[in-house]
Amino acid sequence: MSGSFSSVVVSPPLIRHDVFLNFRGEDTRDNFVSHLRAELRRKKIEAYIDERLGRGEEISSALHKAIEESKIYVLIFSEHYASSTWCLNELTKILECKRKYKRDVIPVFYKVDPSIVRKQGDKYAEAFDGHEQQFKDNIDKVYAWRASLTKAAGISGWDSRAIRPEYTLVTEIVNDILRKLSLSSVSDHQGIIGIDNHIARIQSLLHLDSPAIRFIGIWGMGGIGKTTIARQIYHKLVLQFGSSSLLLNGQEEIERHGIHRIREKCLSELLQGDHTFSGSSFSYERLKRTKVLLILDDVNNWDQLKYLIGDIGNFGQGSRIIVTSRDKQVLKNAKADEIYEVEVMNFEDSLKLFSLSAFKENRPIETYMDLSVKVLNYARGIPLALNALGSLLYGRTREAWESELKKLEMLEKRPDPKIFNVLKLSYDGLDEEQKDIFLDIACFHRGQEEIVVAQTLDSCGFSANIGMDVLKDRCLISVLEGRIVMHDLIQEMGQEIVRQQCVNNPGKRSRLWNVEDIYTVLKKNKGKDAIQCILLDICKIKNVQLHAKTFEKMDNLRMLQFYKSSGYRNDSNVFLASPLESLPDSLKILRWDAFPQRSLPPNFCPENLVRLEMRHCRILEQLWQEDQHLPSLKRLDLSYSWKLTRIPDLSQSPNIEEIFLSDCVRLCKVYSSGFLSKLNSLRLNGCVKLRSLCIPSNILSRSSGSIVLHNCRILETFSICNRTDVVQLYGCSHRSIPPLPEEKRSGRYKYKEAAGTSLSQHDKLRFEFLQGDASTFSVDIIEEKVCPGLEKKEENKKRKCLDVEKKEKKEVCPDLEKKSKEEKKKKMCPDLEKKEKEEKVCPDLEKKEQEEKKSVCPDLEKKEKEEQVCPDIEKKKDQKRRRIQTNSFYVVCRIAKTSTLEC
């Protein structure tokens, strides 16, 4: 037992998500689930939602983990829920966690009878007939799904047919979740040890029964647990207030979004959903009528706090404001009624928290007790350090523990030991790639979307998902609402590791993110081969001129991002003293907004580029003089480059997935001489001079494939082709469009509107949609619309021609009009003379005939009027249906299952 943990009984995992939503996306993602998710966010309830649209039959290990780390499960049963094996597998895992960890389950029956779910009737029966055929070799799995549905449907839940409107249902469900979150005790197995004591003491300071407005400060060092306390207080008290707002990690949010936006967001939430806080006297009057709960976490600047809160008198009676800060003086300056100090954990609580991370139990294994006590002495009761050290030592041998303790002893002997020296042990235990991933996140990616960060790291050649999972296991990062969360102290530790690489010369460090450091390196041309990444907002740096050989010695540079942050309209502050001679061939990610050169340096070999993004380039005319081979390129973005006249043959980038060329107003042609099998997104909106687009690909057969061609006014040739013709449309204009076969006008595919380009004067337009398998792909004309005013213009032209012709004839023969009228009457009615005689005998004869006809055909009068105005009206109606709108051209078509073509 001394060498391993083989006999340890695994206790419940740590809670990372408040709620896990189980649902079938096609039924509810864009309606009920989107409304529920928005309300959960508004109430600051962290919900895990699987964002992947394309899903297989088996759920991933990451999803298994997310289910285990969620406290409440919401099951949304819809009409076609049972057809998804993914949903059924999730359901089975959820019920296992309910039984194993005593978790709460909330069923929601969305437009489906609970009895149908319980007994698997109707659509559920059809779905299970299919499952039994598909899994006949594993029929026990199907029986397990049936049992899970029966059990889940027997739990008391919410029926959408009984509670209307939908908004009321969503509100009731969220309030139910809040009640369950607030009533459930914060137990030891969640890793939040001793928090009940903190909450009880803070509640006593809040004087919740008093009608007065009270402001409470929570003060303590970094890593002590202030954010956790703030979140738990919010969930416990939120139902007692009319409206609420919770800002977590305030310093980070202010840096990312700006303090004005954060203030508007908080005040808008307090006004219960208003998207803009006008600051008008009426807005403040509304606030004064409302009892609010406002919690601001991690605000360490007095001016910022003053701006965020404003005058406390603006809030309604009984309101409570809670602010956490590392700086006690900030809370004193704000005149907090009480300041609560969060002290370090005592020995017993420290031992419990450490044991949960190191042993997955409430107590250490007996043979490790002596080593555990030593670790606690170094962690000094700081929760962040206890979690980090416990995660580092979990599952390791006694010898490994002793080795790590020796490192801690060395740190203790330093004259000024800091907490990040203790945290650094977790970093030291990573392999080289994991260290690179950690440092990249600490320096560049904290707070960004997890998916975007993973894509960036993958582009740099790392195994992003594996590496990030290791960082999560070591408590170095976490994910909240899809974004990377890293504690301030851990980020500071990572950035300090980089700074220590060369304290006095930033040009010899691996990563540059500080504006002053980058300015020094660029201005004095101090960049060395140690530099791997540079990230700079080019609107925030002082004016700096680059030398022709600025990047010459940066042989290991893999990421160079000179970007313009949103909201900045001014030009780049980075200039060229002379044209760049080269860029490092090692570059994998190159982003340079407002690139100040007509083309990329001729000596630059871009074979390693994965992403090339150069937006808002006013000078750029072309990428290279000659086409370059770009085997690794996945993303090309040259949008808003107004002088760009050509791009290379895209066949040189066989792995390209995204092409963005929006508003390249001088670009005439986009083409590929080879087939692009991975192309998923093509945006050419605003390319007003584009005449030809020819890209052989299967983009429109992809579920997420998208082509956008808004405002391509003179497009003549548009070709998207594969191997075998299915549908070809030639000469598409307002004058002619070949009729599609009747079988192509039907189908059960979803359709998107393909809204379009101005093509009224271009009869040469050519559309090609070519695809190999007719059974999986089709383009169906669902609706063709006529240009507003087009028919009217044609009628006016005809009238003018007729008027001229009449005038000429009248000059030759003055009685021509009278004679022609008589002739027309005779043609229309050969028995005219006979009828006139009959009318003299019986004046009401015609009236009687009309009444007889009307009794046979009630709509006779309407039809006769239409025929008088236009004898060929039925024919014209049919032609109108088969026309395409030309001045604002669009065809509504079915293209695969969810692909979009936007013209």
Distance from C-alpha of 101 to C-alpha of 98, rounded to nearest angstrom: 6
Closest CA to 541 of 566, 511, 569, 562: 562
- Where are any strands of DSSP class E within 550-616? 559-563, 574-576, 589-592, 611-613
Block means of pLDDT (10 residues each) for the chain, length 903 residues? 37 77 90 91 84 52 84 94 92 92 93 94 93 90 94 93 90 90 52 81 94 94 87 87 89 87 88 59 80 93 91 91 92 93 90 90 90 88 87 90 85 61 82 95 93 94 92 85 85 91 93 94 91 92 89 94 71 86 94 92 92 92 88 95 92 94 94 91 92 87 80 83 34 31 33 32 34 32 37 55 57 56 57 55 57 57 54 51 34 34 45
pLDDT at 7: 33
What the block records as the tokens of 319 is 């309101």
Distance from C-alpha of 471 to C-alpha of 478, rounded to nearest angstrom: 8
What the block records as the tokens of 706 is 């998208």
Closest CA to 385 of 440, 343, 327, 425: 425
Q: What angle do CA 571, 575, 578 make, to 5 degrees?
A: 145
What the block records as the tokens of 617 is 């380039």
Q: What angle do CA 712, 714, 715 make, to 5 degrees?
A: 70
What the block records as the tokens of 180 is 């369950």
The secondary structure element, H or E, covering residue 717 is: strand 717-720
pLDDT at 12: 61
pLDDT at 146: 94
What the block records as the tokens of 324 is 């956490």
- Where are any strands of DSSP class E within 236-319? 243-247, 292-296
Which of the residues 39, 46, 68, 90 is marked catalytic? 90
What's the pTM?
Answer: 0.60
The secondary structure element, H or E, covering residue 873 is: helix 873-881
- 576: three-class secondary structure by DSSP: strand
Query: Position of tokens 């100040």?
Result: 596
Q: Would you call 255 a catalytic residue per the annotation?
A: no
CB 727 within 8 A of CB 778: yes
pLDDT at 408: 80
Query: Position of tokens 């942050």?
Result: 565
**Following DSSP, what letter does each residue of 640-700 receive, concatenated?**
T-TT------GGG-TT--EEE-TT-TT--EEE-SS-BTT--EEE-TT-TT--EEE--B-GG
CB 883 within 8 A of CB 735: no
